[in-house]
Amino acid sequence: MGKKYLDTKPGTLESSVINVWKNMVGVNEEEVEITEAKISKELASKILSMRKTQKFVKASGDLVPKIYLSAWDRDKLKAEFGKLPRGLPNATKGVTVADMINYALGKDRVIDTEGGNTNSPKLISWDKGGKVIGRPKTVGDAAQIAGVRLESVNVWTDAIKEQDDEYKKVFQAAMKKFGVKSPAEFKDEKKKKEFFDYVDAQYKAPGEKPEPGEPGFKKEGKDKTLTGKPMDKVVINPKIED
C-alpha cells in the first residue's frame, strides 16, 4: 500500500479503517516513508544508461522486460551516489524497464509496457491515453522514446584503463568471443564469472609465472633451491671409518 493511500482525511471512515490496518501490521509513518523511498531521477538515468544496449525483451521467468544489476554494478553506483535506496535491482530481483523510465522522468506510472511477454513489446504512455509511443529494440531506445536523456557511459572503462595494452587486447578479444560489448550485459553471474575466468587464463601480468596445468608451467626441481642453485647434500648418518 503506497503512502498516498495512507494520507486520508482525519475523522472519516476511511481514516478509521487505515488506522486499524496500521495497528494490526505495526506500521508507522516513518516506516512507510522508508519503504516508499523512490529511486532518484539521476540514479535511474544512470542505470538506464548502463543498460542502454540491453534488448527490450523479457528474460526467462519474467513477464515484462526488466533491468538487473550485478553486485559489481551496485558497488559502482554506490561509489558515485552513496547509500542506495531500497528496491534497487540486484542480480536476482529486477525492476521493470518501464518503472525505471518513470523514475528517471520523475513521474508515477506514466510509461508502461504492452505485450511485454512477446518478442516485440510496445511502449505506451498514459499521458496520451494509453497510446503506443514506440516499439523499442533496446532499453536505450525505450528510454529515449519516453524522453529520458541518456549519458554516454561505459562503467567498465575505469576498471581496465589502468591496465596494460596486452590486458586490454585480451579483454576486447574475450568480449568478442562471448558476444557482448560490455560485461555489464551479463545477467547470469555464472556466465560473468566464466568470462573473467577466461580473461584471467588468457592474460599473464609481467613477471607472473604460469600455474600448474597452464601452458609454460615448469615444475621446480626437488634438488634445487628457490634461487635455482643445486642444494647442498647433507649426509645424516655418515659412515665413520676406524
In the chain, domain spans? 7-33, 41-146, 157-202
Torsion of CA 213, 216, 220, 226, to 10 degrees: -120
C-alpha cell at 227: 634461487
Task: Give every CB contact of residue 213 below 8 A, 6+ residues apart in sequence.
Answer: none
Q: What is the pLDDT of residue 167?
A: 78
pTM (two decimals): 0.53
Per-residue model confidence as pLDDT tens for the chain (242 residues): 444 444 444 555 555 555 554 555 444 443 333 334 579 999 999 999 988 888 999 888 889 999 999 888 898 899 889 999 988 999 889 999 999 999 999 999 999 999 988 888 999 999 999 999 999 999 999 999 999 998 765 555 555 655 667 877 888 898 889 988 777 677 777 887 888 888 888 877 665 555 555 555 566 555 555 555 565 655 556 566 65
30 phi and psi, to 5 degrees? -65, -45
Exposure letters 140-172 (e unless 16+ CB within 10 A, then b): bbbbbbbebebeeeebbeeeeeeeeeebeebbe
